Homo-oligomer: A and B are copies of this chain.
Amino acid sequence: MASKERILRLKDETRNNILAASIDIVKEEGWQALSMRKIADRIEYTAPIIYEYFANKDAILNELTRQGYVKLSKLMEKAISEHTDPAKQLEAMWLAYWDFAFAEKELYQVMYGVEVNCCAMQNMCADIQLPMNMLWDKIEEIIPAEKRNEKYVDTKYYTFWSVVHGLISINMTRKLTSDELNQQVLKDAIGGIILSMR
C-alpha cells in the first residue's frame, strides 16, 4: 500500500518538473516561446500528459504566478526581520520588492503583466521620443537655475513617469482602485514632486 504514496510522490514530481521546465524555457527564450510541446520535450513526455496535471496553459502560468507571490512574501518577511524600526522595515520591504523584480524577472513579468516589447522600445523614430522630450524640457524649465543639471532633471523625470505609469498599469492589470483614490494619488504625487523641485 505504500506504493500508492510512491506513485503520488512521482506525480507530484512530474508536476514540479512541468513548472520547472516552464520557467527554464522562459528564462532561456522568453514568455512568447513557451509552448506545451516544448515543456513536454523537457520532461520527456508528450504534450497531452501535461493536461493530467494542469487544466491548460493558463493554469501553469497561474501556478507560477502564485509561487512568485509566495517567494516575494518570504523575501519581505526577511526584510522585516532584519530591522526593528518600522520605517526602516518598510523601506527594506520595498527594496526587497525591487530586488525580487530583477532577480526573478520572468516571475515578475507574469505576476504584474509586464511585456518585454521587442518592438516598441527601438529607436524607431523621433515620434517616440517627442513626448518624453516635451516633459523633460518642461521639468528643466521649472527647476531653479542653481539646482538645474542633467542628472537632477533625469531623476525628477523618472520619478514623475514612474508614479504615473505605475498607477496606470496597476489600474489596467487589476481592477481594484477607485477613481477617487487614483485622483488622490495622482494629484498628491505630481504636486509633491513639483514642490520638491523648487
Which residues of chain A have a CB within 8 Å of any CB of chain B? 58, 61-62, 65-66, 69-70, 72-73, 76-77, 80, 86-87, 89-91, 93-95, 97-98, 101-102, 105, 108-122, 124-125, 127-128, 130-131, 134-135, 138-139, 141-142, 151, 154-155, 158-175, 177, 181-182, 184-186, 188-192, 194, 196
Residues of the B chain whose Cβ atoms lie less than 8 Å from the Cβ of A177: 158
Contact A155/B185 with A76-B134, A105-B172 known, Cβ cut-off 8 Å = yes
Which residue, A165, A167, A196, has most C-beta atoms of chain B within 10 A? A165
For the complex formed, measure the closest distance between the CB of A36 and the CB atoms of chain B, giving whole angstroms: 16
Give the CA-CA distance A194 to B62 in the complex, in Å. 33
Cβ-defined partner of A94 (8 Å) among B127, B154, B160: B160
For the complex formed, measure the closest distance between the CB of A134 and the CB atoms of chain B, giving whole angstroms: 5
* Interface contact A116-B76, CB-CB below 8 Å: no
Cβ-defined partner of A135 (8 Å) among B90, B139, B160, B189: B90
* Interface contact A194-B154, CB-CB below 8 Å: no
Give the CA-CA distance A37 to B48 in the complex, in Å. 28
Give the CA-CA distance A102 to B183 in the complex, in Å. 13
13 sampled A-B residue pairs with Cβ under 8 A = A62-B120, A72-B131, A76-B131, A76-B135, A86-B138, A87-B142, A93-B138, A111-B120, A112-B120, A113-B120, A155-B181, A165-B166, A166-B169
Give the CA-CA distance A111 to B194 in the complex, in Å. 26
* Interface contact A189-B168, CB-CB below 8 Å: no
Contact A189/B162 with A124-B66, A131-B69 known, Cβ cut-off 8 Å = yes
Contact A66/B125 with A90-B138, A120-B112, A130-B73 known, Cβ cut-off 8 Å = yes
Residues of the B chain whose Cβ atoms lie less than 8 Å from the Cβ of A87: 142, 194
A96 nearest CB neighbor, chain B only: B131
For the complex formed, measure the closest distance between the CB of A23 and the CB atoms of chain B, giving whole angstroms: 15
